């Protein structure tokens, strides 16, 4: 109706709706409630008859539909196909086969689902297309996902963007979905790909004024659509006031609430207010009629009383027909014989499972004894009250934690084992050490005792600068230790590896030295039983997320009685760190750890490796020997790492160097204790302003002897003693 005043023109709309699905208006019972000029979609019911359709080898008969067909939102009453023994839910979403979470529970990788923790709890995602899963209808052959919105920037030129499912077993459903475009003064063309010249649909929203609350338009989508692109052009480029950031997406029209509040403030030209909308994808072809197969068909579906689904991955799925459609007397042929066969197979499977479980239990008991479980129980019993409680993990727990010992989880490998990064069921990140201590057939008593010794030693230690043992597992072929996870690797890697992003300043190096000294001081004098580490080196010093040092690898450590001053043992250790006095006498004392710590101090000062050789020289050079020579020749400052040499730190570096020289004294009795070393390092740091750095109570008369003795530690690797007992590498936790 056109009034005399052109400004009084009214916008009208017309539609067909299902009155049973909308609340009636109080004014007119035949008119739906809450319908306005802004309404874009209303429900309507269509009648349908299935037609003969060729699905390769399958032909669906023409059948009259049921008198009371279900709502399109509901799924037919057909049993959901969950696979036995598989996790079938994530959050509150059911995951039926062919979808699945665990390995062996999904048909193929296209249907693999990951259950991820989000801010709203655990949510399932289809990993192959990286979309959140909202619902699965097995009977309809559809899946509801949270599809992302394609945003169009606010420039005047044409913008083409899209979403592509080509190559996947999924299609956009043309029954439930619609194209939607949002934006004022816009013409949206929908394409199969950004390179297409011919649109498959279009819609326009030519005008937005103060009376318009929803600046959007929509269009139907064609069948068999696997990709989608939007080409959005502004109709009135000069109209700057009403210009909005546009967007385009495919949305399931059964969820009108998802479209509410989509339009932001018109002055906001940054982005839309929603990022995702529910979209229905086809993963199989639903058929609401009985299925008839051609002669010679290779499809395994029964022809009578069954529904057929031809999935897009060329795998056919069948579901038995129930009373929801057709004749209630129709049943799957051969179901009785099949059920009997199933019961027989289930009985055999259960028997096999029980036998396998019994054999696994016996095997685990065998491994437990072979890996020193009885010895460990005895040791823990003898040390009751002196040890921290450690957890005994099952083999299944650690297999899941390491993704079945995936090579990508390896943190380090060495002479005593391999270390994996793992995540326990409670979310804690741990380091799992698979020890190389028990051979496959022959029990190595010496290495077994080393393994049990490491468990006992670490269970007695509770210090912030010592890596913490959380538990162990002895029921596997190779025994396992579980430690706290230390993320920043070893001091050796940080000092000698390429590390441009985080150069080690002198302040950090001094803090690391103090932490190591405190840990060794605790082991020697504050622990319930004195403990000698016996393998102090930079590769056994781990750094946490704040670069605090932690001492690790206690495989060769030993505890001693309070009155005991030394331990006579076969020489063990690592080149460059071995105490020459211990090398000559086979007697390891607490001062042997002091010598090794002195080498680590020299590493921190110089940034050089403990053992090195040049291509032109065949002789292996000892860092301790080189350092002492430079001290004797007053050329010490020439070997200091340039990264730490500055005016403010010079006096501290000199003081630490003098302390390192005392730690490297040939005569072990003249070396300071670790307690004294820790105190002096603290004084050097805390009394920086005071001029008390020149404190040295020992003479340097033995430097020549020390140099001569240090040559022993750098002898040829062909020595039979060294080849038999010295460890060249270590495991990094």
φ, ψ (nearest 5 deg) of residue 141:
70, 35
Residues 6+ apart with CB under 8 A from 477: 367, 438, 440
Could you tell me the pLDDT band of residue 574, with boundaries at 50, 70 and 90? Answer: confident
Q: Which of 230-244, 284-298, 605-619 has the lowest mean pLDDT?
A: 284-298
Share of the chain above pLDDT 90, in %: 21
Q: Tell me how long the chain is.
A: 733
Distance, in Å, from the CA atom of 16 to the CA atom of 218, rounded to the nearest integer, reads 17
Is the pLDDT score of 256 beyond 80? no
**Residues 100-111, mean pLDDT to the nearest whole number:** 86
8-state DSSP, 469 = E
Highest mean pLDDT among 253-267, 302-316, 485-499, 606-620: 485-499
pLDDT value at position 653?
92
Distance, in Å, from the CA atom of 275 to the CA atom of 247, rounded to the nearest integer, reads 10
Could you tell me the pLDDT band of residue 516, with boundaries at 50, 70 and 90? Answer: very high
Annotated active-site positions, please?
535
Is the pLDDT score of 302 beyond 90? no
**Tens digits of residue pLDDT in 542-560:** 999 889 999 988 877 776 6
Is the pLDDT score of 671 beyond 80? yes
Instruction: Specify the pTM.
Output: 0.48
Burial class (CB in 10 A: 0-12, 13-18, 19+), 205: buried
Q: Greater confidence, 386 or 152? A: 152
Which has the closest alpha carbon to 674: 508, 536, 578, 549? 536
**Tens digits of residue pLDDT in 200-254:** 888 887 666 654 446 778 888 888 888 888 877 777 665 555 455 677 888 888 8
Is the pLDDT score of 468 beyond 70? yes
* DSSP for 516-573, written as a single string: HHHHHHIIIIISSS-EE-S---GGGEEE-TT--EEE---TT-EE--TT--EEE----B
**Tens digits of residue pLDDT in 318-348:** 443 333 333 333 334 445 556 777 878 888 8
Q: How far is CA 162 from CA 149, 151, 196, 215, 714, in A?
A: 9, 10, 11, 21, 66
Identify the three-state secondary structure at position 271: coil
Distance, in Å, from the CA atom of 392 to the CA atom of 301, rounded to the nearest integer, reads 50
| Per-chain mean pLDDT for the chain | 73
**Tens digits of residue pLDDT in 35-58:** 776 777 888 888 764 433 333 333
**Residues 441-465, mean pLDDT to the nearest whole number:** 71
Q: Greater confidence, 372 or 471? A: 471
Distance, in Å, from the CA atom of 352 to the CA atom of 358, rounded to the nearest integer, reads 10
pLDDT value at position 13?
78
Could you tell me the pLDDT band of residue 444, with boundaries at 50, 70 and 90? Answer: low
**Tens digits of residue pLDDT in 167-194:** 888 888 888 898 888 877 777 888 888 7
């Amino acid at each position: 109706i056109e009034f005399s005043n052109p400004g009084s023109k009214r916008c009208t709309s017309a539609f067909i709706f299902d009155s049973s699905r909308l609340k009636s208006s109080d004014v007119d019972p035949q008119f739906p409630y809450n319908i306005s000029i802004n309404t874009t979609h209303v429900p309507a019911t269509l009648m349908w008859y299935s037609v003969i359709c060729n699905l390769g080898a399958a032909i669906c008969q023409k059948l009259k539909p049921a008198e009371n067909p279900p709502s399109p939102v509901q799924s037919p009453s057909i049993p959901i196909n969950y696979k036995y023994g598989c996790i079938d839910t994530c959050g509150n979403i059911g995951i039926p086969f062919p979808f699945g979470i665990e390995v062996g529970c999904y048909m193929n990788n296209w249907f693999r689902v990951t259950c991820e923790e989000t801010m709203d709890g655990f949510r399932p995602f289809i990993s192959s297309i990286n979309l959140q899963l909202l619902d699965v209808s097995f009977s309809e052959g559809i899946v509801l996902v949270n599809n992302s919105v394609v945003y169009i920037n606010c420039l005047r030129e044409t913008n083409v963007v899209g979403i592509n499912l080509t190559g996947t077993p999924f299609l956009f459903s043309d029954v439930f979905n619609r194209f939607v475009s949002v934006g004022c003064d816009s013409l949206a063309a929908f394409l199969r790909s950004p390179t297409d010249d011919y649109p498959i649909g279009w819609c326009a929203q030519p005008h937005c004024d103060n009376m318009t609350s929803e600046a959007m338009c929509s269009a139907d989508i064609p069948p068999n659509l696997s990709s989608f692109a939007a080409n959005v052009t502004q109709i009135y480029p000069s109209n700057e006031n009403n210009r909005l950031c546009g967007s385009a997406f495919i949305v399931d029209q059964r969820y009108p609430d998802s479209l509410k509040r989509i339009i932001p403030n018109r002055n906001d030209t940054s982005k839309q207010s929603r990022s995702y909308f529910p979209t229905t994808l086809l993963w199989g072809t639903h058929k609401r009629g009985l299925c008839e197969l051609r002669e010679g068909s290779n499809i395994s579906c029964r022809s009578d009383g069954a529904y057929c689904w031809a999935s897009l991955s060329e795998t056919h799925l069948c579901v038995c027909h129930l009373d929801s459609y057709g004749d209630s007397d129709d049943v799957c042929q051969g179901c009785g014989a099949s059920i009997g066969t199933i019961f027989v197979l289930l009985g055999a499977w259960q028997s096999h499972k029980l036998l396998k479980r019994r054999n696994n239990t016996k095997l685990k008991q065998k491994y437990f004894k072979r890996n020193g479980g009885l010895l460990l129980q005895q040791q823990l019993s003898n040390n009751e009250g002196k040890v921290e409680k450690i957890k005994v993990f099952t083999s299944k727990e650690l297999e899941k934690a390491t993704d079945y010992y995936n090579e990508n989880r390896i943190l380090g490998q060495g002479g005593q084992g391999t270390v994996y990064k793992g995540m326990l069921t409670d979310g804690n990140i741990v380091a799992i050490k698979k020890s190389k201590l028990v051979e496959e057939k022959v029990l190595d008593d010496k290495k077994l005792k080393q393994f049990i010794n490491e468990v006992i030693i670490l269970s007695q230690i509770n210090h912030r600068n010592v890596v913490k043992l959380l538990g162990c597992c002895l029921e596997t072929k190779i025994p396992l230790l579980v430690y706290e996870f230390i993320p920043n690797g070893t001091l050796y890697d940080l000092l000698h590896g390429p590390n441009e992003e985080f150069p080690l300043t002198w302040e950090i190096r001094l803090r690391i030295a103090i932490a190591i000294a405190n840990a060794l001081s605790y082991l020697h004098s504050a622990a319930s039983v004195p403990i000698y580490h016996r393998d102090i080196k930079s590769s056994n010093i781990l750094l946490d997320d704040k670069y605090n040092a932690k001492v690790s690898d206690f495989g060769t450590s030993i505890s001693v009685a309070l009155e005991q001053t030394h331990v006579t043992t076969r020489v063990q250790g690592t080149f460059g760190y071995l105490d020459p006095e211990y090398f000559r006498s086979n007697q390891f004392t607490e001062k042997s750890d002091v010598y090794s710590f002195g080498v680590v101090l020299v590493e921190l000062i110089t940034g050089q490796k403990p053992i090195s050789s040049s291509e032109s020289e065949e002789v292996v050079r000892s860092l301790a020997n080189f350092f002492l020579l430079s001290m004797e020749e007053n050329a010490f400052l020439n070997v200091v790492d340039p990264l730490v040499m500055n005016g403010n730190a010079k006096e501290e570096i000199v003081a630490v160097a003098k302390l390192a020289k005392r730690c490297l004294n040939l005569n072990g009795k003249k070396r300071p204790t670790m307690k004294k070393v820790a105190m002096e390092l603290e004084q050097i740091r805390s009394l920086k302003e005071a001029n008390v750095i020149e404190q040295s109570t020992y003479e340097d008369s033995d430097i020549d002897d020390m140099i001569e003795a240090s040559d022993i530690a750098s002898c040829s690797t062909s020595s039979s003693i060294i080849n038999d007992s010295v460890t060249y590498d270590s495991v990094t936790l």
